[in-house]
């Protein structure tokens, strides 16, 4: 009656709530507590709301949760409110709210105190909620609070272990789980926990102990994937391939889901192949294709195995079955490509053509399929369609800049320049091939041939042939093209030079040999300096010290013929004479006998010279050179030489490749020999091959291909590159 008379009287509502609760009318009591809260200060109102929630039947959890949320909103420091809200939210699966309330309750309990059993309950409920939400750090923290109260709390132990394991801290998870499995009572998760413990042992490299735990887990739950995977991994890490294979087959025997079974059967097949056990590999791949008939990977491996160990008919049947089973895609394209090759080998061109087309369609990067399809179409005489096949493939390719497309453009160039007679498009195709693979020599050569027939594009042709000759200076087609370009440009002398090079290499036809002049018509090298400044510096040193070096080098000369003379002995007189001229010019350019030294002796000589000026007080230099030179050098000579030596350093000389220095010197001497008319280009090239060739070459020299020998001889190759480069430069300059 008092509450009716004074509806805003909080104490009256409090008394009503107490009396109705004691009388067993929980619903009316909750209403009264709520009315009391409406007319009370925030702190007291919050407590009334907690009391109201406590009166409600568990079935009315939604209202209870709303009341408790209002309570903690009114008084965020109300411990009882957070405790009650944690419990109700947990029952209502309001996991985020349960986690927040548990955190707040445990934080408030630090100051206010809370019974251990209540604190334990709140921590476990909060940890469970955080775990469900995937908040690993929060779940670990809340479950750890529970373990501070009860170290054997099962759910908390499992929760902390799960958080560690999910974070990849398998060792920490193992420690917690070993405590868990030692607890008495039923443990439905024991098998999974044993597998997790084994993973922790793996992390500490206790592989045999891990093996034992995995076996325990499988003994309890034979189909447990984690245990099977771990067992295979342990055997692989311990280099036990037989056991790993057996473990994979055992896993498959447990009948996992088809896709998983196929995956593990493929792994088993890979292990069997590594062990060269073809039969077990075949059995496992067959199992994989039965379990997952659309597994392109399984079928691809099975077809590969058949191609290597079974008949062509069996392989062809397998490929057909595979292609009927799998979906189109890159792996299916690989199977189709194999089927196409087999059909072509069996003479079934129509089938091969269809399979090649499938392969190119299913894998737009498979250039081999497109090239093979085009080849078969071309064989059938349909040149235009053969080109269209390649054009469609290029249009469909996802990466037009892929270097693998160079050969497709090359083949298009051949079709367009040949039967289709479209020179401009052929040139474009060859240029695209070279843009993708600049080292594709056949494309460059073909492009050069085409450009040579287009007089208005002679500069492009010249650039192409110059590039070819810079890497392969004996390419006959490019040398002929230079002669042809020169003839078209009216440069007869330069055309003759091209023929002279062909004749010197023995590559000229009878008509070309007859038309070839005896001389090139231009100087190859006007003389020193050498091309490299470092090389020229050493040459100058040797030349300036030629008189002082002569007696020193003479003491190192062999008793018999010098190496150069020995290399020339027994050959035709013009070759011997050319070789002697070369050796003489090397002496003239440096010092007598220096070119006959080994590269190591050259290094020692020049380091000794440098040491005389750059390290006069030291003991640097080879005594064979250092001491005699120190005694022989006069004041005036020392002054001249010092200026040259001081341009370099001992470290710089040590870094020089003296083998290459000798090659450069010999190339300069060879150029001088030709320029002075002391020997023909052909005889100089043959002499260079002998002087720089192996002793095994000499008995077969007369029958050997000079072009091939010249490319293998570094000085000869350098000389030819210089000659052809000069010819190209003169053609470009029009003189």
Residue 32's closest CA among 48, 47, 43? 48
pLDDT of residue 424: 92
* The two structure tokens encoding residue 334: 């690989």
Contact 329, 342 (CB under 8 A): no
Average pLDDT in the 474-492 region? Answer: 93
Q: What distances in angstroms separate CA 492 from CA 78, 466, 483, 518, one per listed residue?
A: 109, 19, 8, 14
| pLDDT confidence band for 695 (50 / 70 / 90) | low
- The token duo for 244 is 């790993």
User: Quick check: 449 pLDDT over 50?
Assistant: yes
Dist. CA 311–CA 341, nearest whole Å: 14
pLDDT digits (tens, 9 = 90+) for 65-97: 888 888 888 888 888 889 999 999 999 899 999
Q: Positive or negative CA dihedral for 675, 677, 680, 685?
A: negative
Instruction: Provide the pLDDT for residue 133.
Output: 94
Task: Write down the pLDDT at residue 700.
Answer: 59
Apex 457 CA angle, 453 and 463, nearest 5: 100
pLDDT at 723: 97
Token representation of residue 615: 């390290």
CB 326 within 8 Å of CB 299? yes
Residues in the chain: 735
Decide: residue 370, CB within 10 A, 0-12 exposed, 13-18 middle, 19+ buried. Answer: buried
What's the confidence (pLDDT) of residue 56? 76
Which whole number is the average pLDDT over 317-342? 96
3-state secondary structure 634-697: CHHHHHHHHHHHCCCCHHHHHCCCHHHHHHHHHHHHHHHHHHCCCCCHHHHHHHHHHHHCCHHH
What pLDDT does 634 receive?
79
Residue 173 tokens read as 């998870």
Stated as kind and residue range, the H or E segment containing 483 is: helix 476-488
Half-sphere exposure at residue 422, Cβ-oriented, CA atoms within 13 angstroms: 13
Alpha-carbon span 23 to 1, nearest angstrom? 17
pTM, full prediction: 0.70
Other C-beta atoms closer than 10 Å to the C-beta of 132 total: 14
Sign of the C-alpha dihedral computed for residues 122, 128, 132 and 135 taken in this order: positive
Three-state DSSP string of 700-735: HHHHCCHHHHHHHCHHHHHHHHHHHHHHHHHHHHCC
C-alpha 89, offset from chain centre: 53
- Minimum mean pLDDT range among 35-39, 226-230, 261-265, 395-399: 35-39
What pLDDT, on the 0 to 100 scale, is given for residue 396?
A: 96
Judge residue 425's burial from the number of C-beta atoms within 10 Å of its C-beta, 0-12 exposed, 13-18 middle, 19 or more buried: middle
Please list, in sequence order, all residues whose beta carbon lies within 8 angstroms of the beta carbon of residue 547, skipping any fewer than 6 positions away: none
Task: Tell me the three state secondary structure of residue 288.
Answer: helix
- Mean per-residue pLDDT for 8-18? 60
How far is residue 258's CA from residue 293's CA, in Å, rounded to a whole number? 10
| Mean pLDDT within 256-281 | 96
User: What would the mean pLDDT of 199-225 be, rounded to a whole number?
Assistant: 96
Residue 22 has pLDDT above 70, yes or no: no
Helix-helix angle 42-55:61-74, to 10 degrees: 160
> CA nearest 137: which of 99, 101, 85, 171?
99
Q: What are phi and psi of 323, to 5 degrees?
A: -70, -25
Render pLDDT for 153-190 as a digit per residue (tens, 0 to 9).
999 999 999 999 999 999 999 999 999 999 999 999 99
- 328 Cβ partners below 8 Å, 6+ apart? 358, 361, 362
In the predicted model, is pLDDT for residue 617 greater than 70? no
Report pLDDT for 619.
59
In angstroms, the CA 118 to CA 724 distance is 96
Q: Which of 404-413, 464-473, 601-610, 618-627 has the highest mean pLDDT?
A: 404-413
HSE-CB of 109 using CA atoms within 13 angstroms? 21
Dig out the tokens for 210 from the structure: 């891990």
- Both tokens assigned to 616: 């006069």
As a whole number of angstroms, the distance between CA 74 and CA 598 comes to 98
Helices (H), 56-206: 61-74, 79-91, 95-112, 116-133, 136-149, 154-166, 170-181, 190-203
Helices marked H in 312-382 — which ranges?
312-325, 330-345, 349-362, 367-379
Q: How far apart are CA 213 and CA 530, in angstroms?
A: 76
DSSP string, 210-229: HHHHHHHHHHH-TT-HHHHH
Dig out the tokens for 222 from the structure: 């034979």
- Predicted local distance difference test score (pLDDT) of residue 25: 58
Among 204-213, 223-232, 618-627, the least confident range: 618-627
Q: What is the mean pLDDT of residues 547-570?
A: 80
Flag whether pLDDT at 586 surpasses 70.
Answer: yes
Q: CB under 8 Å to 180, separation ≥6 — which residues?
A: 154, 157, 158, 161, 187, 193
CA distance linking residue 361 with residue 366, whole number of Å: 9
pLDDT at residue 644 tops 50: yes
Token pair 């055997």 in the structure block, residue: 235
Alpha carbon distances (Å) from 239 to 114, 210, 226, 232, 289? 56, 15, 20, 11, 28
Q: Is the pLDDT of residue 9 over 50?
A: no
Is a pLDDT exceeding 80 seen at residue 457?
Answer: yes
Mean pLDDT of the chain: 90
Selected residue with higher pLDDT from 725 and 534? 725
Could you tell me the end-to-end alpha-carbon distance of the chain, in angstroms, rounded to an integer?
A: 128
Domains within the chain, CATH numbers bracketed: 2-184 (1.25.40.10), 312-515 (1.25.40.10), 533-704 (no CATH)
Q: What is the pLDDT of residue 58?
A: 63
Query: Does residue 57 surpass a pLDDT of 70?
Result: no
CA angle 219, 223, 227 (to 5 degrees): 70
Q: Is the pLDDT of residue 253 over 50?
A: yes
C-beta of residue 379 within 8 angstroms of C-beta of residue 389: no
Q: What is the mean pLDDT of residues 653-665?
A: 94
Closest to 195 in 3D by CA, of 165, 159, 167 = 165
Peptide bond between residue 529 and the one before it cis (omega within 30 degrees of 0)? yes
User: Using alpha carbons only, what angle is made at residue 524 by residues 521 and 525, rounded to the nearest 5 degrees?
Assistant: 140
- 328-337, 492-501, 636-645, 660-669: the lowest-pLDDT one: 636-645
Name residues whose C-beta falls within 8 Å of residue 465's C-beta, 6 or more positions apart in sequence: 448, 452, 478, 481, 482, 728
Q: How many CA atoms lie within 13 A of 400 on its CB side?
A: 7
Asked if the model's pLDDT at residue 2 lies above 60, the reply is no
Give helix then strand counts, H and E, for the chain: 42, 0
């Amino acid at each position: 009656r008092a509450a009716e008379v004074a509806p805003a009287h909080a104490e009256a509502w409090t008394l009503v709530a107490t009396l109705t609760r004691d009388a067993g009318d929980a619903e009316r009591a909750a209403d009264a507590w709520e009315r009391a809260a409406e007319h009370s200060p925030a702190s007291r109102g919050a407590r009334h709301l907690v009391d109201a929630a406590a009166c409600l039947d568990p079935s009315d959890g939604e209202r209870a949760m709303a009341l408790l949320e209002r309570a903690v909103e009114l008084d965020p420091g109300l411990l009882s409110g957070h405790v009650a809200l944690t419990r109700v939210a947990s029952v209502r699966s309001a996991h985020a709210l349960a986690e927040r309330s548990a955190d707040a309750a445990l934080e408030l309990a630090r100051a206010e105190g809370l019974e251990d059993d209540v604190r334990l309950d709140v921590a476990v409920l909060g940890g469970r909620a955080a775990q469900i939400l995937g908040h690993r750090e929060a779940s670990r923290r809340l479950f750890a609070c529970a373990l501070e109260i009860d170290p054997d709390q099962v759910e908390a132990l499992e929760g902390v272990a799960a958080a560690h394991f999910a974070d990849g801290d398998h060792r920490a998870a193992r420690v917690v789980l070993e405590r868990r499995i030692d607890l008495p009572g039923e443990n439905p998760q024991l098998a999974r926990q044993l597998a997790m413990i084994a993973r922790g042992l793996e992390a500490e490299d206790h592989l045999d102990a891990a093996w034992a735990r995995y076996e325990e887990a499988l003994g309890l739950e034979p189909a447990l994937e984690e245990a099977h995977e771990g067992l295979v991994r342990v055997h692989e890490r311990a280099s036990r391939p037989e056991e790993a294979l057996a473990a994979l087959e055992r896993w498959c025997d447990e009948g996992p889901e088809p896709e998983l079974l196929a995956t593990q059967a493929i792994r088993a097949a890979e292990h069997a192949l590594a062990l060269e056990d073809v039969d077990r590999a075949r059995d496992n791949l067959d199992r994989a294709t039965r379990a997952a008939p659309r597994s392109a990977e399984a079928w691809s491996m099975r077809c590969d195995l058949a191609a290597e160990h079974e008949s062509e008919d069996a392989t062809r049947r397998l490929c057909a079955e595979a292609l009927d089973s799998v979906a189109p895609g890159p792996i299916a394209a690989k199977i189709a490509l194999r089927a196409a090759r087999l059909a072509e080998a069996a003479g079934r061109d129509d089938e091969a053509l269809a399979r090649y087309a499938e392969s190119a369609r299913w894998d737009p990067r498979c250039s081999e399929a497109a090239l093979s399809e085009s080849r078969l179409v071309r064989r059938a005489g349909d040149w235009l369609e053969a080109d269209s096949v390649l054009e469609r493939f290029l249009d469909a390719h996802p990466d037009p800049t892929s270097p693998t497309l160079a050969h497709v453009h090359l083949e298009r160039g051949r079709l367009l320049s040949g039967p289709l007679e479209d020179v401009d498009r052929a040139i474009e195709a060859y240029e695209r091939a070279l843009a993708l693979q600049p080292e594709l020599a056949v494309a460059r050569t073909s492009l050069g041939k085409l450009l040579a027939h287009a007089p208005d594009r002679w500069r492009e042709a010249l650039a192409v042939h110059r590039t070819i000759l810079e890497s392969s200076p004996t390419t006959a087609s490019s040398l002929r093209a230079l002669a042809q370009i020169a003839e078209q440009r009216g440069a007869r002398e330069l055309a003759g030079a091209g023929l002279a090079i062909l004749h010197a290499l023995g590559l000229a036809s009878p008509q070309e040999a007859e038309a070839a002049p005896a001389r090139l018509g231009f100087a190859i090298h006007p003389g020193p300096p050498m091309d490299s400044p470092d090389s020229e510096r050493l040459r100058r040193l040797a030349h300036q010290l030629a008189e002082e070096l002569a007696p020193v080098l003479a003491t190192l000369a062999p008793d018999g013929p010098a190496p150069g003379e020995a290399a020339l002995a027994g050959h035709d007189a013009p070759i011997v004479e050319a070789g002697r001229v070369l050796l003489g010019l090397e002496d003239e350019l440096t010092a007598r006998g220096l070119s006959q030294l080994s590269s190591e002796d050259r290094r020692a000589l020049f380091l000794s010279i440098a040491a005389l000026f750059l390290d006069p007080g030291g003991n640097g230099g080879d005594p064979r050179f250092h001491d005699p030179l120190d005694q022989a050098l006069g004041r005036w000579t020392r002054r001249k030489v010092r200026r040259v030596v001081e341009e370099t350093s001992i470290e710089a000389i040590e870094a020089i490749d003296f083998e290459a220095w000798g090659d450069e010197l010999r190339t300069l001497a060879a150029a001088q020999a030709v320029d002075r008319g002391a020997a023909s280009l052909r005889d100089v090239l043959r002499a260079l091959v002998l002087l720089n060739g192996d002793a095994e070459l000499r008995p077969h020299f007369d029958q050997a291909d000079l072009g091939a020998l010249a490319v293998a001889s570094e000085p000869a190759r350098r000389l030819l590159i210089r000659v052809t480069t000069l010819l190209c430069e003169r053609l470009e300059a029009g003189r």
